[in-house]
Amino acid sequence: MSSELWPRVEALLSRVERPVRYIDTEWGAHHTPDAEHRSVLLYPDTYEVGQANQGLAILYERLNSTEGLGAERAYLPWLDMAAEMRTAGVPLFSLESCSPVAEFDLFGITLPYELTYTNVLEALDLAGIPLYASDRGETHPLVVGGGPCAYNPEPVARFFDAILIGEGEDAVAEIAGTHLDAKRAGLSRREVLERLAGIQGVYVPGLYRHSAGGVLEPVGSAPPVVTKRVLDDLGGHRPPVCPVVPYMDVVHDRFTVEVLRGCTRGCRFCQAGMVYRPVRERTADDIVRDAMEGLRCTGYDEVSLTSLSSTDHSQLEEVLRRLSSRLDGTGITISLPSLRVDAFSVSMARLASGGRKSGLTFAPEAGTQRLRDVVNKNVTEEDLIETVSRAFSAGWHRVKLYFMIGLPTETDEDIAGIGGLVHRVQRAARQAVPAADRGSVRIGVSVSTFVPKAHTPFQWEGQVPFDEILRRQEVLRSAMPRKGVDLSWHDAEVSFLEGVIARGGREVAGAIERAWRGGARFDAWSEQFDLSIWREAFAAADLDAQAIASHTYERDEQLPWGHISSGVSDRYLWLERDRAIAGTTTADCSFDGCTGCDACGTLGVDIMLGGESRGGR
Partner 1 sequence: MAAGEFRLRVCYAKAGRARFLSHLEVMRALERSSRRAALPYAVTKGFNPHMKAAFGPALPVGTGGEREYFDVWLTQPVSAAEAFERLCGATPHDLGVIEARYVHEKEPSLTAAATVARYEVAVAGEGVTAELIEKALVTVVGEGRLEVEHKGKTKVFDLARSLPEEVRVRSCGPPVILEVTTRMGQEGSLRPDVLLNEALSRIPCGGAVMSVTRTDILIEEEGVLRRLL
What residues line the site for partner 1 (CB under 8 A)? 10, 13-14, 19-20, 23-27, 245, 247-249, 295-301, 329-332, 355-356
58 C-beta neighbours (distance < 10 Å), count = 20
Measured from the CB atom, the residue of 300 and 534 that comes closer to partner 1 is: 300
d(CA 366, CA 407): 8
Measured from the CB atom, the residue of 249 and 527 that comes closer to partner 1 is: 249
In degrees rounded to 5, what are phi and psi of residue 74?
-145, 150
How far apart are CB 490 and partner 1 at their closest, in Å? Answer: 30
Measured from the CB atom, the residue of 1 and 29 that comes closer to partner 1 is: 29
Q: Is the peptide bond before 278 cis (omega within 30 degrees of 0)?
A: yes
Measured from the CB atom, the residue of 95 and 133 that comes closer to partner 1 is: 95
Measured from the CB atom, the residue of 440 and 552 that comes closer to partner 1 is: 440
Measured from the CB atom, the residue of 22 and 117 that comes closer to partner 1 is: 22
**What is the residue type of 230?**
V
Measured from the CB atom, the residue of 325 and 330 that comes closer to partner 1 is: 330
Measured from the CB atom, the residue of 288 and 511 that comes closer to partner 1 is: 288
In sequence order, the 6+-apart residues with CB closer than 8 A to the CB of 39 are: 63, 69, 70, 71, 72, 104, 105, 106, 107, 108, 176
DSSP class of residue 282 equals P
Measured from the CB atom, the residue of 356 and 555 that comes closer to partner 1 is: 356
> How many residues are recorded in the chain?
617
Report the half-sphere exposure of 212 (CA within 13 A, side-chain side): 0
368 C-beta neighbours (distance < 10 Å), count = 19
Q: SS in 3 state form for 163-192? A: EECECHHHHHHHHHHHHHHHHHCCCCHHHH
The two most distant CA atoms of the chain are separated, in Å, by 77
How far apart are CB 513 and partner 1 at their closest, in Å? Answer: 34
Cα 24–29–31 angle (5° rounding)? 90
In degrees rounded to 5, what are phi and psi of residue 594?
-60, 135
Cα 531–532–538 angle (5° rounding)? 90
How far apart are CB 258 and partner 1 at their closest, in Å? Answer: 22
How far apart are CB 157 and partner 1 at their closest, in Å? Answer: 38
How far apart are CB 440 and partner 1 at their closest, in Å? Answer: 15
How far apart are CB 7 and partner 1 at their closest, in Å? Answer: 12
Measured from the CB atom, the residue of 327 and 568 that comes closer to partner 1 is: 327
How far apart are CB 20 and partner 1 at their closest, in Å? Answer: 6
Measured from the CB atom, the residue of 332 and 401 that comes closer to partner 1 is: 332
Q: What is the dihedral of CA 447, 453, 458, 461, to 10 degrees?
A: 90
Measured from the CB atom, the residue of 300 and 522 that comes closer to partner 1 is: 300
First to last CA, the chain: 48
Q: At what angle do helices 412-432 and 466-479 cross, to 10 degrees?
A: 40
Sheet arrangement for strand 608-609: 260-261, 280-281, 608-609, 612-613
How far apart are CB 578 and partner 1 at their closest, in Å? Answer: 51
In degrees rounded to 5, what are phi and psi of residue 487?
-95, 130
**What is the residue type of 453?**
K
How far apart are CB 467 and partner 1 at their closest, in Å? Answer: 45
DSSP of 333-375, one letter per residue? EEE-----SSHHHHHHHHHHHTT----EEEEEESSSHHHHHHT
